[in-house]
Structure 1
Amino acid sequence: MTLTRRRFTTLAAAGIVGSFAPLRAGMAQTSLGGFTLTSLSDGELRLPLSMALEYVPQDMRAEVTQQYGFGETVTPPCNVTLLQTDSHNILFDVGAGPEFMSSAGFLLDALDAAGLTPDDITDVVFTHAHPDHIWGLVDDFDDLLFTNASYMIGQAEWDYWSDPDTVNTIDSGRTTFAVGAARRLARIADQVTFFQDGQEILPGVAARATFGHTPGHMAFEVRQGNDAIMILGDCIGNHHLAFDHPDWKSASDQDTDMGVATRVALLDQLAYEQMQILGFHLPNTGIGRVEKAGSAYRFVQDS
């Protein structure tokens, strides 16, 4: 394996190592029966502070900024989940690819560090079709990267992003999202399988409707016997406002009201059941649990 300058810069900047099962920088593993789940770093996003504060009450913005140590930008990590069974190497989302942000798009480096190539991936399952989750589907020449994989996505999510009118109805700040999603989904139109809420899409993997962030966003419950882990995608998008103030709207959600309802219900369930989680934008590789903290919640990394 060659340590390229791009790899070195990204992994050094990420600095995300799971304390309970450390691998290389930006990676951590957890086991579930005969399954192994690995959190792979695709890098990070760099978002304006104004986006994080958009729905924070005006008189609380200075306090929130100081409390969470926000700078001019917010830099959530991007944790892609790899689920390995006896016969499958399953990716949940494929990262941002080379066209979205220079700070993200390093999934192939992470796969290489894990000893895999794109040809080793047997299945690609999408939580949703935002750029940092689906633009990594193709390479610089617009060719599919995961040539041996089957592809799966929720029916509602596919219908929304494949609708030619979406580019006209989505808010103007997300027009490029619609164009990019439609272009990439068209590349797999003849080889994709659709699923619904509650459906077991692969042995031990069930889809869970978590709409709001996008119209058809899905989380996934991976279960082996009495043990389970929830792959969240973006239905719980950060470890500060989403946990401390789950009833506050998030500018990252396309339907902000539905996003709140989904987040509140899911946090309550996860805290009650103490189910392990892997969040795409949660810190320290995103693996941990939800705990109740008075009227709020907190993200606790497993140790």
Structure 2
Amino acid sequence: MTLSRRKLLSLSAAGVAGSLLPYKPLMAQTEIGTYTLTSLSDGSLTLPASMVLAPIPEGDKTGAIEAFGLGEALTPPCNVTLLQTGERNILFDVGAGSEFMSSAGFLLDALDEVGLSPEDITDIAFTHAHPDHIWGLVDDFDDLLFPDAKYMIGQAEWDYWTNPETVDTIDEGRTTFAVGAARRLARIADNITFFNDGEEILPGVAARATFGHTPGHIAFEVRQGSNAMMIIGDCIGNDHIALAHPTWKTGSDQDMEMGAATRTSLLDQIAHEQMSVLGFHLKGNGIGRIEAAGDGYRFIQDI
């Protein structure tokens, strides 16, 4: 058995490198009409809980920490969506690559598990340009990992991250985000299509403006007839505080007030329409339903 560098890193991190057990990314599949959607694990992140909790009033924060058993670090999964239509293999985001965190960047291994190579990917649509969603665009030599793909991104998101003033105006903790996004987006500047809210980017796939987490964050509604799923990216960034208290401002959103308003509106729609979701940072493989629970909502994992 041949192990890739990324697989060896994952095994070593798990303390089982000596056993040479194969890397088994968490994944799951579901169908919307004739389309197949697969949740591919890019690994997970390790983030200080304060990144989310800092803006929350102290009393509410303490209660939330106790209610959800949160520690000093959060370790959200990274669930990349693969949509297969029969003619196309479409990725929504490309994961973190090898430069962001050692616990993430396993998308190529996950694709290998479903029998696909980077050359098989026909289209890539970005929810937004944060590191864990776009840094996997290039390899360690700065070559494009998906050489035959067509790329798509929301116009507002592109405009923000390619603006040379962004690196000087973004908050200090996100400066590397701006540098990394600009560098990678420049690599696909000659092969990129822009879209706006409500536009159908591919047959049965419509863009939904969900601004706040970033200035141009987009979710995607995949629909065939009455069957639909929302690929939500990071506009609903976790399955605990974001759902139980959607109106709370959280530090993971660049515009916290807009992020809360977006989250509240989207959760209401998803729950009301009983629409399936695939969440990048929702627990497990991120596939499930969101339903009302008291003054908030809860995530029910389906698979």
TM-score, L = length of structure 2:
0.93
- The verdict on how the C-alpha distance between 1:286 and 1:12 changes in structure 2, with shifts beyond 3 A counting, is farther
- The verdict on how the C-alpha distance between 1:301 and 1:13 changes in structure 2, with shifts beyond 3 A counting, is farther
Q: Deviations over 1:109-129 (max 9, x none)?
A: 111111111000000100000
1:142 alignment partner in structure 2 = 142
Structure 2 segments unaligned to the other structure (5+ residues): 15-23
In angstroms, what is the RMSD of aligned CA positions? 1.7
Q: How does 1:87-236 map to 2 (within 5 A)?
A: 87-236=87-236
- The verdict on how the C-alpha distance between 1:11 and 1:79 changes in structure 2, with shifts beyond 3 A counting, is farther
Q: Distance in 2 between matches of 1:49 and 1:276?
A: 27
- How many angstroms does 1:12 deviate by? 10
- How many angstroms does 1:294 deviate by? 1.7
1:17 alignment partner in structure 2 = none
- How many angstroms does 1:55 deviate by? 2.1
Structure 1 segments unaligned to the other structure (5+ residues): 15-23
1:36 alignment partner in structure 2 = 36
Q: Distance in 2 between matches of 1:67 and 1:237?
A: 18
Structure 1 runs (4+) deviating above 6 angstroms are 11-14
Is the contact made by 1:161 and 1:181 (CA closer than 8 Å) also made in structure 2?
A: yes
Q: Deviations over 1:14-57 (max 9, x none)?
A: 9xxxxxxxxx5410000111100000000111001222321222
1:83 matched to 2:83? The reply is yes
Is the contact made by 1:11 and 1:25 (CA closer than 8 Å) also made in structure 2?
A: no
State the one-letter code of the partner of 1:201: I
Identity %: 71
- How many angstroms does 1:164 deviate by? 0.3
Q: Distance in 1 between matches of 2:113 and 2:174?
A: 33
1:243 alignment partner in structure 2 = 243
State the one-letter code of the partner of 1:217: H
- How many angstroms does 1:61 deviate by? 3.0
Is the contact made by 1:129 and 1:157 (CA closer than 8 Å) also made in structure 2?
A: yes
Q: Distance in 1 between matches of 2:12 and 2:258?
A: 37
Q: Distance in 2 between matches of 1:101 and 1:123?
A: 25
Q: What's the secondary structure of 1:194's corresponding residue? A: strand
Is the contact made by 2:25 and 2:40 (CA closer than 8 Å) also made in structure 1?
A: no
Q: Distance in 1 between matches of 2:12 and 2:122?
A: 29
Q: Distance in 2 between matches of 1:12 and 1:225?
A: 46
- How many angstroms does 1:66 deviate by? 2.4
Q: Deviations over 1:70-124 (max 9, x none)?
A: 2221000000000001100000000000111111111011111111110000001
Q: Distance in 2 between matches of 1:235 and 1:114?
A: 27
Q: Distance in 1 between matches of 2:12 and 2:223?
A: 33
